[in-house]
Structures are given as structure tokens and as C-alpha cells.
Amino acid sequence: MYSLVCLVHLSDVAAETTVRAELQELGAAVAPVMEGAFNGGDLAARLTFASEADWRASKDAVDAVLVGPAVARADTALSRDVAGGAANPGMAGGVWRGLLLAANKPQAGERMDQFESELLLMPRYIPAIRNWRLGRVIAATGEANWTHVWEQEYEDLGGLLGPYMLHPYHWAQIDRWFDPECPDWIVDTRLCHSFAQFGRSLLG
Amino acid sequence: MGPTVYIIDDLVAAPGKGHELLGLYREKYAPAARARGMVLDREIVAPPLWLDELSNRLLITWTVAGAAGWWGQGVQSRFDPGVAAFWDEAAPLIASRARYFGTAEADIAEVTHV
């Protein structure tokens, strides 16, 4: 499967309803980005495709919305599944979190498998992550040439801001990939950390 | 607050450069680290003499208060160009290095109960 995550920065907040409707018309799940995101946009939109050809068939229409006058800019990432899981596939009312990252430092290539494997172990140690998906990016736009999309779903915002952020598997194990002070650093410090409530599970 | 978190720099100096490396670390890394909330716990030099032909190992341990203290220093350091500049300057003095984050074994249950 393929997913397209679009983090839309609006130039005209009053046009939110219009942009949202236009993306929904194309089959996207769309929700306002919640307070506290970092470079996360104003609207989060997500589309799924069975094939790259299906994405190509929709690409021009999606792009047309994202270059419209109400949109200041958008960070987008089309990614192919690496792996995912669902502990609560029917979750309703939870919080989706999407991280767009660029693992582009010189040593990234030789360490990529370990990086991805360790990311995918996060739900094992942090059960507040109920559903998850890691994708490798095929096409990206925005502030960086994004290489990965790391998505999770939580029962509520507390799961993201509490266990996810505070568990030592995150800060004492995973974060070294993101930390320029650590020799294992491979991920650019420019990130998109966005979260939203879609009213249903997108990853289940 | 949470349990004490240890940030451990494990620096293997280039041969004969151990003393110079520790001096540079004290002069150009430690002040900003303290400003980020890190508290110097200890500096271990191994073996405990300055080697001219071989490498000294420096184990420099800092503490912060819990995960919040860890994120506080971490977020500040990655957006402080002075930190990157220090590691660039120190690179010729370093043969290899690692950085570890941990707690006392007795604190594992508390630190993982989040």
C-alpha cells in the first residue's frame, strides 16, 4: 500500500473549509492539526493508494489543491509501506500523529536497516502506540526531501504527550538517530511533527 | 522530576591528545551544557595518567532530572550552533566516541512507568 500525507499550511485560515472539502472530494481524510504540533501545518490530509499508478492518476488533482491561493505551502510525502501494526484497528476518536523525517546524513545508508528496525520496535515498548505504520518515501515536497513517514495512533493526546515522549525507549534509545550530538545521528533536524483527530482510525 | 538520568560521553582520545581534549571539553562544551541544565557528575580518565603515544579514554558523566530534563537539554543542544561547532573543533582530538543515556538500575521501574 501507498499513503500520501499532506501537511497543509494555509495562507488564508478562512478558507480552511474550502480546502478541506476539496481534499475530501479527492478521497482524503482531512482534519485540523492540533495545537502543539511542530511544523505540522494547519490541516492534515491523508490518502491511500493500492499502487503507485493509482497515486499518479490522482496526483495532478491533489497538486492543484495544494498550490491554490488559500495554501501557503505544503509538506507532502508519498510513501510505500515498510511495516505496520494495529493493536486497536477499530479505534474511534483517537489521535493520529505523523512524523515526516529526512534520514539524509552521510552515514544514513549503512545504518538505515537498524534505524527502521528500532523505530518499528517502539510499539512493543510503548503500548500507548495502538496502531502504527512506517513508510519509505517515494515522492516528497516541502521543507526537506523527506525519506520516511512514521505514523502512530493513540487513544488520546495523553498517549502521545505522555508515554510516547517520556518512555526511555524513545529518548534513551531512538532519539540518538535524531540527535546531532550522538555519533549515530542520521536524521535532519528539520522535521514535521503533526497530530490530528480524524474521528476514526487511519492505520487500523 | 523523575529519576536521575545520566548522560555519559565516552570519548577515546586520539593518541597523546587526552589532556588537550579534556581541556577543550571543559572550556567550550561544559559551560553551555550547564546552561542547558546538565550537572557535571564526574570525569574519569582511563588509564589515570596522560599517555603520549596511546589513547586515553574520557568518561564524562552528566545528570539531568528525569525525562523532562533530558528533553530540555536535548532540544536546546540540537538548535545551538555552538554545540555542533564544539564537536567539529574537537574531532581531530577524538579517535572515537559514544554517548549513552541511562539511569540507575534501581530506577528502571519508575522511569519506564510512564
C-beta of residue B9 within 8 angstroms of C-beta of residue B87: no
Q: Which domain holds residue A115?
A: 2-196
**Which chain B residues are within 8 Å of A172, Cβ to Cβ?**
5, 70, 101-102
Residue in chain B nearest A179 by alpha carbon: B78
Chain B residue whose CA is closest to A161: B114
Looking at the domain assignment, is residue A69 inside a domain?
yes
Give CA–CA dist A56/A4, Å, rounded. Answer: 11
| Cβ contacts from A onto B, under 8 A | 48
Question: Exposure pattern of B36-70 as b/e (b: 16+ CB <10 Å)?
Answer: bbbeeeeeebeeeeebeeebbbbebbbbbebbebb
CB contact under 8 A, B78 and A168: no
Give the residue carrying C-alpha cell 499513503: A3
Residue A27 lies in a domain: yes
SS3 A68: coil
B29: Cα within 13 Å, side-chain hemisphere: 22
CB of B88 less than 8 A from some CB of A: no
- Contact B112/A180, CB-based, under 8 Å? no
Closest Cβ–Cβ partner in A163, A172, A178 for B101 = A172
CB A79 within 8 A of CB A3: yes
Look up the CATH number of the domain holding residue A89.
3.30.70.100
Does a structural domain hold residue A96?
A: yes
Share of chain A above pLDDT 90, in %: 98
**Per-residue pLDDT of chain B in tens (114 residues, 90 and over written 9):** 789 999 999 999 999 999 999 999 999 999 999 999 999 999 999 999 999 999 999 999 999 999 999 999 999 999 899 999 999 999 999 999 999 999 999 999 999 999
A162 to B97: CB separation less than 8 angstroms, yes or no: no
Q: Place A13 in a pLDDT band, splitting at 50, 70 and 90.
A: confident
Which CATH number applies to B4-108?
3.30.70.100
Instruction: Please provide residue A89's backbone torsions phi and psi, each rounded to the nearest 5 degrees.
Output: -65, -25
Contact A181 B77 (CB under 8 A): yes
Question: What's the start-to-end Cα distance of chain B, in Å?
Answer: 12
**Contact by Cβ (8 Å): A32, A17:** no
User: Confidence band (pLDDT; 50, 70, 90) for A198?
Assistant: very high
Kindly calculate the radius of gyration of chain A based on its CA atoms and give it in whole angstroms: 16
Chain B closest-CA separation from residue A161 CA (Å): 10
Residue A37 contacts residue A194 (beta carbons within 8 Å) = yes
End-to-end CA distance of chain A: 13
Give A186-196 pLDDT, tens digit per residue: 999 999 999 99
Examine residue A202 and state whether it is found in any structural domain, yes or no.
Answer: no
Nearest chain B residue to A125, by CA: B112
Give dist(CA B65, CA B71) in Å, integer. 10
Report residue A52 CA to chain centroid gap. Answer: 18
Q: What ipTM was predicted for this assembly?
A: 0.96
| B29 and A CB contact within 8 Å | no
Q: What is the pLDDT of residues A112-171, one digit of tens each?
A: 999 999 999 999 999 999 999 999 999 999 999 999 999 999 999 999 999 999 999 999
| Nearest neighbour of B112 by CB, restricted to A167, A181, A183 | A167
Domain ranges of chain B: 4-108
Residue of A nearest to B76 (CA): A179
How many structural domains is chain A composed of?
A: 1
**Res. A53 pLDDT band, cuts 50 70 90:** very high
Asked if A163 reaches chain B (Cβ–Cβ under 8 Å), the answer is yes
With an 8 Å Cβ cutoff, are B83 and A171 in contact?
Answer: no
Question: How far off is chain B from A172, nearest CA to CA, in Å?
Answer: 5
CB A63 within 8 A of CB A11: no
**Which of A162, A168, A179 lies at the smallest CB-CB distance from B78?**
A179
Rounded Cα gap, residues A3 and A17, in angstroms: 23
